[in-house]
Chain A
Amino acid sequence: MSNQITLSINNQSISVPAGSTIMEAAQKLGVSVPHFCWHPGLSIAGVCRFCMVKVEGMPKLQIACNTPATEGMKVDTVSAEVKDAHKWALEFHLINHPLDCPICDQAGECELQNYYMKVGKYQSQMEDEKVLKPKALDVGDTLVLDTERCILCSRCVRFEDEVTKTSTLGIFNRGDQATIGTYQGRKIKHNYSYNLADICPVGAFTAKDFRFKCRVWFLKEAKTVCPGCSTGCSVNLFQNSNQREYYRLKPRHNAEVNGHWMCDTGRTMYEHLNASTRLSAPLLNGENVTFHAALQAVSDATKSVSADKVAVVFTAQFTSEEYSAVLNSLKTTLKGTPKVFVWREETETEESFDGILFRGDRNPNTRGMTEVLKQESVGASILKGDFSALANAGAELTLVFGPEVESAYPSLAKALSRFVELKKSVYFGNTLNEVAKKFWLRIPVKTFAEKSGTFVNFNGVAQKLKANPPVYPAVKAVDEYFADLGKLAQSAV
């Protein structure tokens, strides 16, 4: 136990590893110490001077973020002296802040606002003119920068220096003229730019993708998993509380997977949820039919063929539960194992990795799918640019489980045109496209946002999806359809 130390914060005892700071100990204990510049994913700057705490035996207040915790230390975060320090630290942050909350898109999730309500609530003594700085700067394709709102916490500078190592940002000039900005001629150009808007505690960095679209208090968030690549970042998905439009994804801390960050590609994973081309009804021979009729058609088709005349084409964008349900259901119905193919994008480079989070395998559940196939003792052939194996299989019924994130499959149309050439081919998908119309049967499925289930990332970490209410209530997930198919088969018997 020599590497653990015990200290007390507000008379509550807590043990932390030696070398921890007071801030880390407080976080572990669940004691909130106000802070702006400290961020657990970045180095310590110690500049906002907000996280002042009283340490018994030290004459001055100390910053919690950079003061090492020591054995037997007694820390106070709530005394009148500490509260006064917090109040004044906030006042110093706000004296030159424009206080343009009504037109600021950060309002509602702004740390200045939150802390004002928590530790401020004073009448400002600032009566002089504020320092004016450049506003609404275009600093790249994804972000807008308002340097007047900036509180110079330097989180963004450290992010650029330490995480993306692009060092685009700096704080220029001195004193109250100090201004955040990009180096001359530079723009923020990397696949992690939206993290800057996330870590900005105020409205200095706002995301072009989200700003002015919806006030944050109309949003509710669901803890789920990003379907953008095989890293499977833990995310919060934000949906309007009217339970229709989705607005954005933000990373959710997961030390095992993504730490504090996620990539910009992953941030686009709400777009297809809102697409006007979302499929809502099944299509049989080009005619809209009921869900019951569609499933009945599948059920009938499976009755008249032997297992080796049925082909299943998976993409690795479904949940492990869905793969299991398909295989189990078909095995029961067909009294044998169908031929299984795994369809991968022909340009995909599965092994590539950007060094931070983003992986070349754009499917969130390759590992989960592989595990299910192994568990079910099903061998699968890979279709990648070459579909001859499938064509030669001579299947009389082909079930194609298309990618939910179609942008990950640039050769989608080409591949689909190969599938429609086959006899009785069924497409499970969620977005309208010209080729998908030509399938014998097309059945809409739920998106990752609407279903529960598991994604297993490249590293074997399994994470659960969180089901939001579906936009189209009649649309189901693949495992739900196959449960229904099972019931149909039973009732027929």
Chain B
Amino acid sequence: MPVMNSPYMGRQPSEFKILTELEGVPNSRSLDVYKEHGGYAALEKVLKGGMSPDDVINLVKASGLRGRGGAGFPTGMKWGFVPKPAGEKYLITNFDEGEPGTYKDRYIAELNAHMLIEGKIIAAYAIGASKSYIYLRGEFYDEIAWCEQAIKEAYDAGYLGDNVLGTGFKHHMDVYVGAGAYICGEETGLISSLEGKKGQPKLKPPFPAVKGYLGKPTIVNNVETLAAVPWIIRNGAEAYKKFGTEKSAGTKLFNISGPVVRPGCYELPLGYPLKRFIYEDCGGLIGGKKLKAVIPGGASAPVLTAAEIENMTMDYEAFAAAGTMLGSGAVIVIPEDVSMVHVLENLMHFFKDESCGQCTPCREGTGWLLKMSRDIVNGDGAPGDAEKIADVAGKMMGRTICTFSDAAAGPARSIPQKFAHEFLEFYKNKASAAHAQG
């Protein structure tokens, strides 16, 4: 997918506004402003316009909306997994946002949490849940308050309660605050935490859609996914599919970090050229530094070299084809003057701290990877160590309950493989230090 053929050539990010429509609007968080911009019209359309739950699921399926939390699973299909018979079911919003480099969900709450609330009520109607939760990480003080405020306003306006909009549909919503653990962003880890247990992923099968929160069918959706639902209901599946690529429909929030001129949260259609995003929208690297590498989808996405991003587009398929992933849309830019060995050690430190410790390969492996990376940084490495890191990481992949271990192994394999020459420098330092001492 070469950049030059991109249909977005010449168009500005400001033209793609689904989630960020209220950007720059004064008092954007208020319910009134939201309603002025079409807020809760989708909910009215669903509940009063005679849409059945299956109609909603089919519309979302047709829109091609995929989970924005990281895995990119088709949202409508996920909702379809919930058993149809009536009974207690739960909808949970994953607002843990723990992936390093990600700050898109909090941006949505900062603009207007009602987008999320409305999307949640619609999703709850689709799967038949009368109770839903927003699970936030404990550090999100402001976001917790914004969500609570929006829920209160929604109750007062009749969008939540025993009789939503007088239609007889019952839905209650609550905020639940975690203690701030990366693994509680994994859907079954989140469910454990919500149940009051230690935040550890659960063994599958059974899958949450069948047996989740409190043993009941449960759907966990990301904030961004749910926030896109009202727009899709209002404008239709076709309108949404006009954005993005065939398999990656719609827009996505991208967070860029690293030494770029204009870092921030950008709404872009999927399939947008990565290089153009970095160099045009974000203004390139500060001080004209050269780009060394990009981590395209948060800490758990394998790294891409500057050469690899040359013709890269930002969508699920293109990243997957390059052996990495779109993830949460957190683009981390690494300039020429940062050593990849330090990047590796930094990432390994993160994963070592955040492993829940349940599965042996991950619990023991993440600590081991950190120790080996640290040895190299400290000048105690020897030729073969980078390969050993990649080798150990390879044995941690696909062997655990959740994908955390794979996430930790991703950079531990890709960095030594793609930047082997940088490791050699560190080994040399050791040799020369030994020589000087000798």
B364: nearest residue on chain A (CB-CB)? A92
* Complex: A92 Cα to B395 Cα, angstroms: 10
B side interface size, CB within 8 A? 32
A151: nearest residue on chain B (CB-CB)? B360
Residues 165-202 of B at the A interface (beta carbon under 8 Å): 181, 183, 198
The answer to whether A129 touches B371 (Cβ under 8 A) is: yes
B385: nearest residue on chain A (CB-CB)? A127
Q: Residue B357 contacts which of A44, A49, A171 (CB distance < 8 angstroms)?
A: A171
The answer to whether A175 touches B360 (Cβ under 8 A) is: no
* Chain A residues whose C-beta falls within 8 Å of the C-beta of B399 in the assembled complex: 49, 52, 61, 85, 88-89
The answer to whether B205 touches A66 (Cβ under 8 A) is: yes
Q: Is A178 an interface residue (CB 8 A)?
A: yes
The answer to whether A49 touches B203 (Cβ under 8 A) is: no
* Complex: A307 Cα to B293 Cα, angstroms: 103
The answer to whether B361 touches A66 (Cβ under 8 A) is: no
Tell me the minimal C-beta distance from A258 to chain B in angstroms: 28
Residues 110-148 of A at the B interface (beta carbon under 8 Å): 125-126, 128-129, 131
The answer to whether B364 touches A174 (Cβ under 8 A) is: no
Given A47-B358, A128-B375, A129-B371, A175 contacting B363 (CB threshold 8 A): yes
The answer to whether B353 touches A174 (Cβ under 8 A) is: yes
Interface size class of A (residues with CB under 8 A): 35 or more
What does the 1/0 interface line of A83-126 toward B look like (CB < 8 Å)? 00100110111011000000000000000000000000000011
Q: Residue A178 contacts which of B354, B357, B372, B398 (CB distance < 8 angstroms)?
A: B357
Q: Is A360 an interface residue (CB 8 A)?
A: no
Q: Is B359 an interface residue (CB 8 A)?
A: yes
The answer to whether B357 touches A177 (Cβ under 8 A) is: yes
The answer to whether B205 touches A96 (Cβ under 8 A) is: no
* Chain B residues whose C-beta falls within 8 Å of the C-beta of A85 in the assembled complex: 395, 399
* Chain B residues whose C-beta falls within 8 Å of the C-beta of A177 in the assembled complex: 357
Q: Is B388 an interface residue (CB 8 A)?
A: yes
* Complex: A176 Cα to B399 Cα, angstroms: 17
* Chain A residues whose C-beta falls within 8 Å of the C-beta of B364 in the assembled complex: 92-93, 95-96, 176
* Chain B residues whose C-beta falls within 8 Å of the C-beta of A151 in the assembled complex: 360
Interface residues of B (CB under 8 A from A): 181, 183, 198, 203, 205, 352-361, 363-368, 371-372, 375, 388, 392, 395-396, 398-401
Known: A52-B399, A174-B183, A176-B363. 20 other contacts (CB 8 A): A46-B203, A46-B401, A47-B360, A49-B360, A49-B361, A50-B360, A66-B205, A91-B395, A92-B360, A92-B363, A92-B395, A95-B368, A128-B371, A128-B372, A129-B371, A152-B363, A174-B357, A175-B354, A175-B355, A176-B357
* Chain B residues whose C-beta falls within 8 Å of the C-beta of A174 in the assembled complex: 181, 183, 353-357
The answer to whether B352 touches A175 (Cβ under 8 A) is: yes
A43: nearest residue on chain B (CB-CB)? B203
The answer to whether A61 touches B365 (Cβ under 8 A) is: no
Tell me the minimal C-beta distance from A129 to chain B in angstroms: 7
* Chain B residues whose C-beta falls within 8 Å of the C-beta of A171 in the assembled complex: 198, 357
Tell me the minimal C-beta distance from A493 to chain B in angstroms: 74
B372: nearest residue on chain A (CB-CB)? A128
What does the 1/0 interface line of A60-99 toward B look like (CB < 8 Å)? 1100001010000000000000000100110111011000
The answer to whether A88 touches B401 (Cβ under 8 A) is: no
The answer to whether B205 touches A68 (Cβ under 8 A) is: yes
* Complex: A176 Cα to B352 Cα, angstroms: 8
Q: Is A45 an interface residue (CB 8 A)?
A: yes
* Chain A residues whose C-beta falls within 8 Å of the C-beta of B400 in the assembled complex: 49
The answer to whether B375 touches A173 (Cβ under 8 A) is: no
Q: Residue B365 contacts which of A44, A92, A131, A178 (CB distance < 8 angstroms)?
A: A92
* Chain B residues whose C-beta falls within 8 Å of the C-beta of A263 in the assembled complex: none
Given A60-B398, A125-B392, A128-B375, A176 contacting B360 (CB threshold 8 A): no
Tell me the minimal C-beta distance from B356 to chain A in angstroms: 6
* Complex: A187 Cα to B204 Cα, angstroms: 33
A88: nearest residue on chain B (CB-CB)? B395
B183: nearest residue on chain A (CB-CB)? A174
* Complex: A171 Cα to B371 Cα, angstroms: 23
Tell me the minimal C-beta distance from A137 to chain B in angstroms: 19
* Complex: A174 Cα to B364 Cα, angstroms: 11
Q: Is A48 an interface residue (CB 8 A)?
A: yes
Which of A49, A68, A126: most chain B Cβ within 10 A?
Answer: A49
* Complex: A171 Cα to B364 Cα, angstroms: 15
Tell me the minimal C-beta distance from B310 to chain A in angstroms: 30
Tell me the minimal C-beta distance from B125 to chain A in angstroms: 33
* Chain A residues whose C-beta falls within 8 Å of the C-beta of B183 in the assembled complex: 174
* Complex: A170 Cα to B358 Cα, angstroms: 12
* Complex: A129 Cα to B366 Cα, angstroms: 14
Given A88-B395, A151-B360, A175-B352, A131 contacting B367 (CB threshold 8 A): yes
